[in-house]
Structure 1
Amino acid sequence: MFSWLASIAAACWGPVRKYARMRKDEDEDDALLWSRDLGRHSAGEFSIAVVQANEVLEDHSQVETGPNATFVGVYDGHGGPDASRFISDHLFLHLMRLAQENGTISEDVVRNAFSATEDGFLAHVRRTHQIKPLIAAIGSCCLVGVIWKGTLYVANVGDSRAIIGCLGKSNNIIAEQLTRDHNASVEEVRQELRSLHPDDSHIVVLKHGVWRIKGIIQVSRSIGDAYLKKPEFSIDPSVQRFRLSEPLRRPVLTAEPSIHARVLCPQDKFLIFASDGLWEHLTNQEAAEIVYNYPRAGIARRLVRAALQEAARKREMRYVDLKKVEKGIRRFFHDDITVVVIFIDHELLLGSDASVPELSIRGFIDAAGPSNFSVLDNI
C-alpha cells in the first residue's frame, strides 16, 4: 500500500504553486493550502483556511463582517463547483434582503434565504440544462452561521458541521455539536428516509460498504441535485453514475435546512464551521481542544494541518510527502477542506464596534471586498 501511494506522490511532486492564490507562512510548503490567519468581526476575531484536493475546488466559503453582525458560510459542492459558487454569490444577499423586508433576522428569515437560493439555482439549471445536462447532478451542502444582537443562528443542509466550544466547570473545553449531519451513514437519517418513502425499498442502499440514497448520493439534503428532486431534470440513463433504478416519482432530496438558534452566553468561547473533509479525520472534541490550546492566529490552518496529518497517517505515508501531491490525485488522500473559526469575546458581543470594517472574505481567494451589512443598520 505505502509503495503504491508513494509512487503516486512522487509522480506529482512537480511545482503546483500556480494553482492557487494564497497567503502563507514562509515555512509552509503546501501549495494547495490557503489561509487568512486572523481577522476581526463584530464579536471578536476569526480565522479561515482552505485546502484543495479536487482537480477543481468544490468548496466555496465566505465570512462577512460588519459593526453589528457576523455571517459565515461553508458550501461543500459535489459534482462540480457550480452550486457552491452560486450559493456563495447569492445566499447572503438573499438573507440581507429578507432581513430588511422583515425588520429582523430570525429562523424564518434564514430558512427563506435557503429557499430563495435553492429556487434560484434550480432556475439556473432549468435555463442551462439543455446545453449542460450534467448541471442537474451538481449540488452542494450548505452551512451558515449568523451572529446578530447576541444570538447565534446556525442552519445547514448536508453534512458540513458546526460545533461550539464551551468552557466547563473545571475550565476544560467541551465540544457541543450544533448541526445535524444529513447523511445516509447516520441510522436516524436512514429511518427518516424510509418513513418518508415507505413504498420505495431502494430509497437507501448499501453500496460498496457505504449507505447511499437511491444508491447514488450520501447526503439527504442539499442545494441543487435537481435530478433527484424534479423529474424534468432526469439525466440520460447512459450516464451510469446517475442511473436511477426507476423513474423519479417524487423528490428524494430536500433543501429544507435544520436550524438552531442560541443566545450566546459567557461560557461559549468559539465556533468551528467546517466541511466534512475536516470531520472525516478529527472528532468534535479533538478539534475543540486544538482551538482551545493554541494561539488564535492561524488556528484554522492548524486544524486543516491536523486533519492532513491524520489523513497521511491513515494512508501510511509521511505528511511532508502528502503536501507535495498535486490537486486531483490529492483527492485519493483527502477531500477539499474548509474551516472557519469564530472566537466570541463577550465584552464585544452586545455592543457596536464601528471600527470593524464591512468586509466580504471569500475562501481561497486572496482578496476582500465590501460587504452588504449596512442594510441592518436601522433594524
Structure 2
Amino acid sequence: MKIISNCWKPSMGSREGGSVSRTDPVIWHKDLGRHDVGEFSIAVAQANDPLEDGSQIESGPLSWSEATSAPRGTFVGVYDGHGGPQTSEFVTEHLFCNLKRFASELGGMSEEVIGKAFSATEDGFMSLVRHRWLNKPQIASVGSCCLVGIISDGMLYVANAGDSRVVLGRIERGIKQISAVQMSVEHNANIASVREELHLLHPNDPQIVVLKDTVWRVKGIIQVSRSIGDAFLKCAEFQREPLLPRFRLSEPFEKPILSAEPSIMAHRLSPEDQFLIFASDGLWENLSNEEVVNMIHNSPRSVRCLSSFGILKY
C-alpha cells in the first residue's frame, strides 16, 4: 500500500517544467504543485560541483499507521550540505522515514517526535561514517544543515540545525499589508548569541570560535554550530589519519564540539498566515526576509531566485 504521496523529488538528468541547462543556475524546479494543505513551488540552484544539497516535499500520512485517523500533513526539508553530498543524501533518504516511525510509536506529531527523528538520523549517519572510515575517510568531514517544516492538523512545526531559515508571510489585520515573520532559530558563529552558547558549552577552550578572514568559525573551520554529520568535530576517534590534516585539531576534545540537536518551535496557523518560505543561507545572504516575502506576495506564481528555496501556500 502506498502510504505517502511524494510531491516532488528530482531525478538525475531530468527536470519537470524544462530541460537542464549548464548555463541556467536553477538546475531543477517545480513551478506550482499541490500538497495536503495547499500549494507549493520549489527550485534548486547549484552553487558547487557536485551539488551537495538536498530538498524534499512529502504530503500524505505522517506516520506508518494504517488507521483512517492517522494524521495527514505536509513535510518540507531543505538540506544544505558541505564537504560532499553524502550527508544530505542520507538525510533525504532517512529523516522523513524516522519521523513517520516515531510519530506512529508516540501517537502523532510532536516536538518530541521531531527531536527523536533528528537524533536517529544523526546516529544512522555516524554508523555509516564508522563503516566507511578506512576506505573513504573523507566522509568524516561531510555534513549538512537540516531545516524541516511539518504542517499537520493546523499546526506548523519548524526544526532547524544549521543556518537555513523559514520565513512566514502574514497579512496584518486592518492594514492589509504583508509582513515577514522569521520562524526558525539559526546556528551560525557569526551570530553573537551562538558564540556565547559555544563559550558556555566549552568554557575551557578559548579557541572554540576563531575570527578568520572577518568570519567567525567554530575551531576556525566551520561557521555552523549544529548540523547532521561532521563526525570529525563530534567524535574524537576520527581526529587521526587518514583524515586530511586540515580537519585534524591541534588539541584533543572530550565532548562533541558541534551538535545535531535542532531548535524546534510550534505555531498554530491562522487565516492571516499566507505562505512559508524555506531556504538555505544562499538566499538569505542576498535578500532580507522582507524582500523575499514582498517578492512572493507581489508575484506569487512567477518567483525566481538564485538559491534553493521552497514556497508553501495554504
- The TM-score, its normalising length taken from structure 1, stands at 0.74
Give the whole-Å Cα distance in 2 for the aligned partners of 1:183 and 1:60: 20
Give the whole-Å Cα distance in 2 for the aligned partners of 1:87 and 1:148: 21
Q: Of the candidates 231, 247, 253, which is equivalent to residue 248 of structure 1? A: 253
Q: What residue identity is the alignment partner of 2:189?
A: A
Give the whole-Å Cα distance in 1 for the aligned partners of 2:300 and 2:287: 19
CA-to-aligned-CA distance 1:41-81 (integer Å, 9 cap, x gap):
11110000001121100110000012731000000010000
CA-to-aligned-CA distance 1:233-264 (integer Å, 9 cap, x gap):
22438834313131122211000100010110
Partner of 1:70: 74
Give the whole-Å Cα distance in 1 for the aligned partners of 2:284 and 2:251: 34
Please say which structure displays the higher CA radius of gyration.
Answer: 1
Cα distance change of structure 1 residues 166 and 61 upon mapping to structure 2, 3 Å threshold? same
Cα distance change of structure 1 residues 241 and 21 upon mapping to structure 2, 3 Å threshold? farther
Give the whole-Å Cα distance in 2 for the aligned partners of 1:109 and 1:246: 36
Q: What residue identity is the alignment partner of 2:228?
A: I
Q: Of the candidates 276, 279, 288, which is equivalent to residue 274 of structure 1? A: 279
| Structure 1 gap ranges (5+) | 1-18, 309-336, 345-379
Q: Of the candidates 175, 179, 185, which is equivalent to residue 180 of structure 2? A: 175
CA-to-aligned-CA distance 1:280-319 (integer Å, 9 cap, x gap):
11111101001100133x43xx1x2xxx4xxxxxxxxxxx
Partner of 1:162: 166
**Is 1:60 equivalent to 2:60 in the alignment?**
no
| Structure 2 gap ranges (5+) | 1-11, 62-71
**Is 1:232 equivalent to 2:225 in the alignment?**
no
Q: Contact between 1:133 and 1:235, CA under 8 Å: does it hold in 2?
A: no
Q: Contact between 1:134 and 1:235, CA under 8 Å: does it hold in 2?
A: no
Matches within 5 A, 1:52-131: 52-66=46-60, 68-131=72-135
User: How far is 1:180 from its partner?
Assistant: 1.1
Q: What residue identity is the alignment partner of 1:35?
A: H
Partner of 2:194: 189
Greater per-residue helix proportion: 1
After superposing on structure 2, the runs of 4+ consecutive aligned residues of structure 1 that deviate more than 6 Å are none
Give the whole-Å Cα distance in 1 for the aligned partners of 2:209 and 2:177: 40
Partner of 1:46: 40
Q: Contact between 2:137 and 2:243, CA under 8 Å: does it hold in 1?
A: no
Helix, strand or coil: the match of 1:66? strand
Q: Contact between 2:137 and 2:242, CA under 8 Å: does it hold in 1?
A: no
Q: Contact between 1:152 and 1:262, CA under 8 Å: does it hold in 2?
A: yes
Give the whole-Å Cα distance in 1 for the aligned partners of 2:34 and 2:108: 23
Matches within 5 A, 1:173-322: 173-236=178-241, 239-296=244-301, 298-299=302-303, 302=304, 304=305, 308=306
Partner of 2:67: none
Helix, strand or coil: the match of 1:232? helix
Greater per-residue strand proportion: 2
Q: Contact between 1:205 and 1:213, CA under 8 Å: does it hold in 2?
A: yes
Give the whole-Å Cα distance in 2 for the aligned partners of 1:42 and 1:251: 39
- The TM-score, its normalising length taken from structure 2, stands at 0.88
Give the whole-Å Cα distance in 2 for the aligned partners of 1:196 and 1:71: 32
Matches within 5 A, 1:333-348: 337-344=307-314
Give the whole-Å Cα distance in 2 for the aligned partners of 1:204 and 1:98: 35
Q: Name the count of aligned residue pairs.
A: 290
Partner of 2:7: none
Cα distance change of structure 1 residues 212 and 167 upon mapping to structure 2, 3 Å threshold? same
What is the RMSD of the two structures over their aligned residues, measured on CA atoms? 1.7
Give the whole-Å Cα distance in 2 for the aligned partners of 1:238 and 1:161: 31
CA-to-aligned-CA distance 1:199-223 (integer Å, 9 cap, x gap):
1000000011110001111000000
Helix, strand or coil: the match of 1:215? coil
Structure number with higher relative contact order (C-alpha < 8 Å, ≥ 6 residues apart)? 1
Q: Of the candidates 148, 152, 166, which is equivalent to residue 148 of structure 1? A: 152
